[in-house]
Structure 1
Amino acid sequence: MCGRFAFHSPASLLVDRFAATIHGDAPAPRYNAAPMQTLPVVRFNPETKERRLSPLRWGLVPVWSKDPSGAAKMINARAEGVTERPAYRSAFKKRRCLVPFDAYYEWRKVDGAKIPHAIATDSNGPDAFAGLWEGWKDPASGEWLHTFTIITTEANDATRAIHDRMPVILPPDHWSA
C-alpha cells in the first residue's frame, strides 16, 4: 500500500527524465505527498503524441460515480484486479499514467507502534509508479475533476519486512506502455 510519497526533483529534471512538457504550473517539491492532494502525473496525449506533466488529484473517481466522496478509498489499485474491477478496467485499457516520485513511505508495526520508513530506488530518480487516471464530470457544475490512483503489488524481498504491499515501480524502458 502506498499512502505517502515524496518528489523533490526540480521541474526541469522531471521534464528531461520523462520527456514531458509541463501542463499548468511547474510542480513544487513535496516531501509528504498525501491522498486527496493535487500532484504531478505524466500522461500521454494521443492527439499531440506527447507526454504531459499535469496536476491531478490523488484518489480515483470513476467516470460513473455520482459524486467524488469515495476517492479517498481509491488511492491505490491492486494490480491483481485492475483488469476486472469496474472502477479500474476502462482506465487500465485507455488511461495509464506515470506518477513521479523520489521516495515513498511505509509504516512497519513494531510492538503496537508504527515506525516510518522512506524507501527509494538507487537510480538517482525521479522514478515512476504505475498509475491510472480518470476524468469525472460534476453533474451539478459541469466541471471536470481529473484524478489518479497508484497501482500496488505484493512487496518484493527488500520491502517485505516493512509491509506486505508496495507500489508498482516501472523502469524507464516500460514507461511508453
Structure 2
Amino acid sequence: MSAAQAELAQRYGVRVPYPPDLQLPPPELFPKYLAWTVHEVGGERRLTPMRWGFPITVTGKSGQPTQKAVTNVRNYGSLFWRRALGDPARRCLVPFTDFCEWEGAAGAKTARWFDVPTQAITSFAGVWRPGPEGPLMAFLTTDPNPLVAPIHPKAMPVLLAAEDEATWLTAPVADALTLAAPFPSQLMRVT
C-alpha cells in the first residue's frame, strides 16, 4: 500500500477526521500486522487499521496448544466465517496498490507483483471482527485467473472492481458472494 491516508479517504469517501498518522500501518501487509481497511458504520465509511488474521488455537506437534492467524477466507460455507460473511456490518474492503504472489521452489522463491492499472487503489473483499487488542480482518480468496495461475496455481485474493465495493459492503450474503470470483486477468498486469 503506497497510497497515503488522505488518498485512501478520498478514494473511499471517508470523511475526516480519519485516524491520525501515528496509526499508519506499514506499506507491506503481513499476517498479524496492521493494514488499512474500509468498513461502514451507520451508512458512513470509516478508514480503520486492523490486524490481519483471525486467531485460532491449534494443537502443535508437541501436543501443546498454540495460536495461529487464519488470514484467508476460502471456504465461504464454513461455520468459522459464516457470521462475518453473513453480516454486512462485518464486511470490509482491504485497500492495496499492488499485491505479491511468490513463484518458485522453497528457498528460491521470486516475488511477483500484480496491480490493476485502471484502479490506482484496488480493494480485496474482506471480513472483520472485534478482537481483545483491536479489530481483526481477513480477506477472501478464490480460484486464480489465467494471469495469476502460472505463478500461484492454488488461489488468488478476491479483488473488487470499484463499482462492486458498495455491494460487498451492504448486500445480502448471497448477492455479496457473487463477487467472490477471479478478477478479469485482462484488467491486471504483472509489474
Structure 2 residue runs without a partner (length 5+): 57-64, 168-191
> How far has the Cα of 1:30 moved from its partner?
3.6
Q: Is the 8 A contact 1:9 1:29 kept in 2?
A: no
TM-score (norm 1): 0.78
State the match for 1:151 in structure 2.
140
Q: Deviations over 1:59-114 (max 9, x none)?
A: 0248xxxx9923x2x11111xx22x2122100001111000000111111159621
State the match for 1:160 in structure 2.
149
1:69-108 matches, within 5 Å, as 69-70=67-68, 72=69, 74-78=70-74, 81-82=75-76, 84-94=77-87, 95-108=90-103
**Count of residue pairs brought into register by the alignment:** 154
Q: Is the 8 A contact 1:41 1:56 kept in 2?
A: yes
Q: Which amino acid aligns with 2:33?
A: Q
Q: Is the 8 A contact 1:61 1:68 kept in 2?
A: no
Q: Is the 8 A contact 1:129 1:151 kept in 2?
A: yes
Change (3 A) 1:59 1:20: same
Q: Deviations over 1:108-147 (max 9, x none)?
A: 11596211111111124111000000113x4xxxxx5310
State the match for 2:46 in structure 1.
52
Structure 1 residue runs without a partner (length 5+): 1-6, 139-143
TM-score (norm 2): 0.73
Q: Deviations over 1:31-80 (max 9, x none)?
A: 3221101111001103xx20000011100248xxxx9923x2x11111xx
What secondary structure, in the 3-state scheme, does the structure 1 residue paired with 2:142 have? strand
Which residue, out of 32, 36, 52, partners 1:36? 32
Aligned-residue identity in percent: 28
Change (3 A) 1:85 1:116: same
Change (3 A) 1:170 1:61: same
Distance 2:94 2:14 in 1: 12
Which residue, out of 145, 163, 176, partners 1:173? 163
| Higher normalized contact order (CA 8 Å, seq sep 6+, divided by chain length) | 1
CA RMSD of aligned residues (A): 2.3
What secondary structure, in the 3-state scheme, does the structure 2 residue paired with 1:89 have? helix
